[in-house]
């Protein structure tokens, strides 16, 4: 059963409204406009937010090989981006750092990008990761084998890390390391949202049926999940959770059976917590999008299956051509970009790195 949120009793609502009015009068009388803005928007635009729920299941210190507990400081970002990566994906991580992931401000907001990964298969690989962590300061590593079967653990680790070590970030984005993220456009969109309602935003998958084939990596036995279709959920390539939504997902994990794949599991936790996903056509799916400055720089929030060379090329292109959309291109928006993706698919260009400049 999905829990229902009960409206506050009227006397309590009147009391809170009165206290809020007194605080507002006090700020108007003695504070600056900047203080008033921080007081009014602080919980929604980063900075100090509400305290963590006391019963939230957070990972303990023993859950990490590289905890990187101070990576969010000294002040929490508005948008924290956690990139799910693998130990051997050094080129992908470096491409993200050299492009959109290296930004500390985007769309007028503070942003921070970190990489989440598990344990490699050898001590030498672990030593290389520790050297990488010392050099860049942006790795968060869990104490579990980095395998495809453990992607759900990786997602829970990164959400738990965000709640434990960056609880004042207004939004948390989870993306794969082959995703080009349009941070300025995404940050502007999130900052313009009306009100503090919890948000679970991405490319929504509708009524996907569980895979019952035992040999399939996404095998879901009927004994674990008997229903014929999953609830709506956001594609794991890229999605955004507001602070409260991330906490609700974590709070649901003790009550939801572990179902693969990881994006389905997040969707199941969201449903248990009473969160409905919000679909955005600007979060791209698996289509191959050619390097178009309008699509990458303005229209789309994310593009999947972008290799390291293409990642750098896309960033250089969007940096060199800000405001690249014409009036007609802007009006056509996602429709035009999807048309380009369809043409790209018909031409059979394959991997995005196949046509990216060296």
Q: pLDDT digit string (tens) for 84-138?
A: 999 999 999 999 999 999 999 999 999 999 999 999 999 999 999 999 999 999 9
> What are the tokens at 141?
């590593």
Q: How confident is the model at residue 218 (pLDDT cuts 50, 70, 90)?
A: confident
Helix 308-320 and helix 90-97: axis angle, to 10°?
A: 10
Q: Is the pLDDT of residue 34 over 60?
A: no
Closest alpha carbon to 96 in 78, 76, 116, 125: 116
What is the rounded CA–CA span in Å between residue 70 and residue 356? 36
What is the rounded CA–CA span in Å between residue 168 and residue 80? 10
* Rounded (10°) CA dihedral 165, 166, 167, 170: -170
- The helix or strand, by DSSP H or E, that contains position 80, with its residue range, turns out to be strand 79-84
**pLDDT of 348:** 60
CATH 3.90.550.50 residue ranges for the chain: 61-279
Answer for the pair 185, 293: CB distance below 8 angstroms, yes or no.
Answer: no
Q: How many C-beta neighbours within 10 Å does residue 149 have? A: 10
**pLDDT of 353:** 55
Q: If you average pLDDT over residues 57-82, what whole number do you get?
A: 93
Summarised one tens digit per residue, pLDDT across range 268-312 is 999 999 999 999 999 987 778 999 999 999 999 999 999 999 999
Lowest mean pLDDT among 18-22, 211-215, 341-345, 354-358: 18-22
Lowest mean pLDDT among 47-51, 73-77, 259-263, 311-315: 47-51
Average pLDDT score over the chain: 84
Is residue 181 helix, strand or coil?
strand
Pairing of strands 79-84, 64-66: unpaired
Summarised one tens digit per residue, pLDDT across range 301-351 is 999 999 999 999 999 998 877 788 999 998 999 999 999 988 877 776 544
Q: How confident is the model at residue 48 (pLDDT cuts 50, 70, 90)?
A: low
What is the rounded CA–CA span in Å between residue 270 and residue 262? 12
CATH of domain 61-279: 3.90.550.50
**pLDDT of 27:** 27
What is the rounded CA–CA span in Å between residue 80 and residue 111? 6
Q: Is the pLDDT of residue 232 over 50?
A: yes
Is residue 88 helix, strand or coil?
coil
Query: What's the pTM value of the predicted model, to 2 decimals?
Result: 0.82
Lowest mean pLDDT among 82-86, 88-92, 170-174, 211-215: 211-215
The share of the chain scoring above pLDDT 90, in percent, equals 67
Q: Is the pLDDT of residue 15 over 60?
A: no
């Amino acid at each position: 059963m999905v829990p229902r949120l009960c409206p506050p009793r009227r006397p309590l609502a009147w009391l809170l409204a009165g206290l809020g009015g007194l605080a507002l009068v006090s700020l108007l009388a003695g504070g600056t406009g900047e203080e008033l803005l921080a007081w009014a928007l602080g919980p929604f635009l980063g900075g100090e937010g509400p305290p963590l729920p006391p019963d939230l299941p957070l990972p303990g210190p023993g859950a990490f090989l590289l905890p990187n507990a101070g990576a969010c400081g000294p002040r929490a970002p508005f948008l924290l981006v956690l990139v799910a990566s693998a130990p051997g994906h050094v080129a992908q991580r470096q491409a993200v750092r050299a492009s959109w992931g290296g930004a500390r401000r985007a769309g007028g907001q503070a942003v921070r990008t970190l990489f989440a990964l598990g344990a490699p298969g050898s001590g030498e690989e672990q030593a290389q990761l520790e050297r990488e962590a010392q050099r860049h300061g942006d790795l968060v590593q869990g104490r579990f084998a980095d395998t495809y079967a453990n992607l759900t653990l990786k997602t829970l680790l990164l959400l738990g890390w965000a709640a434990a070590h960056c609880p004042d970030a207004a939004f948390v984005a989870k993306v794969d390391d082959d995703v080009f993220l349009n941070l300025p456009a995404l940050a502007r969109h999130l900052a313009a949202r009306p009100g503090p309602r919890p948000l679970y935003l991405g490319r929504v998958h509708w009524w996907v049926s569980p895979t019952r084939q035992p040999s399939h990596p996404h095998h879901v036995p009927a004994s674990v999940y008997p229903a014929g279709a999953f609830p709506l959920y956001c594609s794991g390539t890229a999605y955004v959770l507001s602070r409260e939504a991330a906490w609700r997902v974590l709070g649901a994990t003790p009550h939801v059976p572990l179902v693969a794949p990881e994006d389905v599991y997040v969707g199941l936790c969201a449903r248990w917590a009473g969160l409905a996903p919000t679909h955005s056509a600007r979060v791209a799916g698996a289509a191959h999008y050619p390097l178009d400055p309008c699509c990458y720089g303005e229209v789309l929030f994310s593009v999947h299956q972008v290799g390291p060379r293409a990642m750098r090329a896309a960033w250089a292109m969007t940096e060199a051509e800000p405001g690249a959309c014409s009036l007609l291109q802007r009006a056509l928006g996602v429709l035009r970009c999807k048309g380009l993706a369809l043409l790209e698919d018909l031409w059979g260009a394959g991997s995005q790195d196949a046509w990216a400049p060296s």
